[in-house]
Amino acid sequence: MLAPVPIWQPAYIGLGSNLEDPVRQVRCALQRLAQLPRTHLVLASPLYRSSPMGPIAQPDFVNAVAGVLTRCEPAVLLAGLRELESAFGRPSVRERWGPRVLDLDLLLYGRLQLHDPQLTLPHPGVVQRNFVLYPLADIAPELEVPGVGRVHELKRRVSAEGIQRLP
């Protein structure tokens, strides 16, 4: 008997870079997301420039959000994102809030709410980070963030300070 094929699930991925030509890094990463197994890139937001978070002096980030349909389980999709980060040169040991060639965050996976040591969904930073909410609102303003609210409503609650949509 064949194992059941998982149904397609919508997922949203945050992308960010502030090293080695960040615009190129994010654009290339979007292309590579389209090549993940059992995953289709459906939507990609415009790029945004944003101020870095945290206490470390570093260049501004370039951010975007991608919408995908996937048949991968959340942990498998996350593992694929980590492999993609490594392929772009991101070390496995990461400095919190430090500069990076590529950062990929699994923001949402369907309507799943998950609190696991390896993965929390929705991503805990979604509701407070303008560099996530602004690009996400460009591609999915009516999206319901499970347990939190609609993206366009959440966007209104965060400041636009430090973020700029790129041409």
The single residue of 49, 90, 129, 138 carrying the catalytic annotation is 90
pLDDT at 91 (0 to 100): 80
* 103 part of the active site: yes
* 138 part of the active site: no
Please report the domains of the chain, with CATH numbers, ordered by start residue: 9-165 (3.30.70.560)
Task: Summarize pLDDT for 63-105 with one digit per residue, the tens.
Answer: 999 999 999 999 999 999 999 999 999 887 777 778 999 999 9
Task: Summarize pLDDT for 20-70 with one digit per residue, the tens.
Answer: 999 999 999 999 999 999 999 999 999 999 999 888 899 999 999 999 999
Residue 146: is the preceding peptide bond cis (ω within 30°)?
no
**Region for residue 33 given its phi and psi (left: phi exceeds 0; alpha: psi -120 to 50; beta: otherwise):** alpha
Task: Summarize pLDDT for 112-160 with one digit per residue, the tens.
Answer: 999 999 999 999 999 999 999 999 999 999 999 999 999 999 999 999 9
pLDDT at 56 (0 to 100): 87
* 90 part of the active site: yes
pLDDT at 26 (0 to 100): 98
Could you give the C-alpha distances from 131 to 1, 94, 100, in angstroms and in order? 46, 20, 15
The single residue of 27, 60, 105, 150 carrying the catalytic annotation is 105
121 vs 60: CA distance, rounded Å? 26
In this structure, what are the phi and psi dihedrals at residue 37, rounded to the nearest 5 degrees? -60, 140
